[in-house]
Structure 1
Amino acid sequence: MPSVQKFPSLESETRSHVDTACASFHVNRKPQTLRSWACFENGPLRPVRISGRLAWSVAEIRRLLAGGE
């Protein structure tokens, strides 16, 4: 049985950027979907790369969930 990760709500998130697992949880997409967005640069969110890892802007996730494109 896979372990279930728990993430803080976006309202209580204090970090400016989150990892792919956390971002995918909040936008209700699989992590691989977000990785595809990053690779092809065709999604509603664009990550930054920090030491070769993807980091997703919390502000942009909030904007997307509020209905912004």
Structure 2
Amino acid sequence: MENSTAINPARLAKLEAKTPQNYPPLEQVNKPNLTTAELAFYSNMAAQTWRVKACYDTAPEGLRPLRVCGKLAWPTAGAKKLLGVH
């Protein structure tokens, strides 16, 4: 029995979905809130870590998220302050 080298299209789509997105430098971000994925990228921490911090209300000072339709919106100003970006 030989292993096939054909690529499963469904698996390929999942792998492409996991490809990291290109985010602009945090200095250039001027929107009021960040998504959890963006905050995770900028802070170099897992997105699930930030979700846990929101759940237990243990986020750093100035980073308390807003809950909008089941999603978390993290203040950009707080993220910049935490990461030392002006």
Which of 12, 16, 35 aligns to 1:19? It is 35
Q: TM-score, normalised by structure 1?
A: 0.86
**Unaligned 5+ runs, structure 1:** none
Per-residue deviation, residues 12-64 of structure 1 (Å, max 9, x unmatched): 11211011000111111100000000000012132111122100111000110
Q: Distance in 2 between matches of 1:50 and 1:43?
A: 17
Indicate the residue corresponding to 1:51 in structure 2.
Answer: 69
Q: TM-score, normalised by structure 2?
A: 0.71
* Identical columns (%): 38
How do 1:2-41 residues align onto structure 2 when only pairs under 5 Å count? 2-41=18-57
**C-alpha RMSD of the superposition:** 1.6
More relative contact order, 1 or 2 (CA 8 Å, 6+ apart):
1
Equivalenced residues, count: 67
Give structure 1 regions of 4+ aligned residues with deviation exceeding 3 angstroms: none
Q: Distance in 1 between matches of 2:59 and 2:31?
A: 22
